[in-house]
Amino acid sequence: MLPVRTPLADAPETRPEAEITKVVVAPRTLVTLVLLALGGVLLVALAYAARTILLQLLVAVVLAMALEPPVQALERCGLARGKAVAITFSLALIAVAAFGYLLVAPLVSEVASFAHHVPGLLQTLTQGHGSLGFLERRFHIVEHARASIADQGAGLIARRASRVVGGLLNTGAAAVTVAFLTLFVVLGGRRWFDSLVDLVPENSRERWLRGGNGVSMAVGGYVAGNLLISVIAGTVATIILLATGVPYPVPLGLLVAVFDLIPLVGATLATIIVAAVALTKGVPTTAIVVAGLVVYQQIENRVLGPVVYHRTVQLSALATAVSVAAGAEVGGLAGALLAIPIAGALKAVSHEVVAARREAAGKS
């Protein structure tokens, strides 16, 4: 008679197999998780070490997307892409050079004139005379300056001057690097994107192309909108300075336009610089100029900016404000400057993702 096998009889045979399987699989899974964690940490460390060049590359990509519409317009006229890029990039450099000349030439001339008149101005200020004499009469600024120099020595001034010079050199080197990166991205960016699209399945290529065009339009719209707002800010500042008789209204208006490109603190810095120049015409004139600039900034922040970005980047006022605040919290000034184009790009990508899911749900 054959013996009857019961579940209890099978248990001793199957249990060791299960235990052996667990012992074999668990170490492999643990090793895989450890390797993935180490790879992620290494990737984050490399990104942090190269954060400067990565940020410059991100700025270059944004500028390249802003230059893409005129390049495509020249290509539609029959020019090869290389020639279209060369013409567009040259025109951009000429515009920047002309802008810098209009801003720097009067500044250099005024600094030279100021250095020539420094002894007389110091003597007048020490005596409490002139338009700035109230600084000595009320605050004794000359005595405080002399005491500070006597306590800390001339080395402090030298160190601060060296920091300023070093900052200017670093800024110039970063600007040159961004310019070359922008040129390279404009030359090869479209080809790189087309090569990436060729790697995806054929039924998804149209969606990738739409997403890429949406990102490009969002970034280009942000740059165009930001430039438009800055031009308006510089024009308003120039009109205010002309009306109040403040010297150098056009260079100061250009300065306001440049600083207005910087979110959060740009307008404040420009107002401080303009107010310092307006002090040469007296305190009442300075108060009028500052009040005019502050009123315009409120209009820009609450009305003009949201309207322009809603039309160019398709972002609401709430999304714009939240994006700038989050970008400033994460990346400082650079984060605030890039927050709106990144938000516009994410919106374009999310729109395509939602469309793809709806299409897949409709088919199922």
What is the torsional sign of CA 258, 262, 266, 267?
Answer: positive
Answer for the pair 246, 271: CB distance below 8 angstroms, yes or no: no
The per-residue pLDDT for range 212-251, each reduced to its tens digit, is 777 877 877 888 888 889 889 999 999 999 999 888 888 8
The per-residue pLDDT for range 324-334, each reduced to its tens digit, is 788 877 777 77
Mean pLDDT is highest, among 198-207, 299-308, 316-325, for 299-308
Concatenate the DSSP letters of all residues of 112-132 into one string: HHHHHHHHHHHHHHHTT-STT
The per-residue pLDDT for range 121-144, each reduced to its tens digit, is 666 666 665 555 566 566 666 666
Separation of CA 332 from chain center = 9
pLDDT of residue 289: 92
Tokens of 336: 């605030």
pTM over 0.75: no
Residue type, 98: A
Which of 342, 313, 316 lies closest to 328 in space, CA to CA? Answer: 342
Distance CA 345, CA 55 (A): 17
The per-residue pLDDT for range 353-362, each reduced to its tens digit, is 787 777 777 7
Distance CA 264, CA 277 (A): 22
pLDDT of residue 239: 93
Residue 24 pLDDT greater than 50, yes or no: no
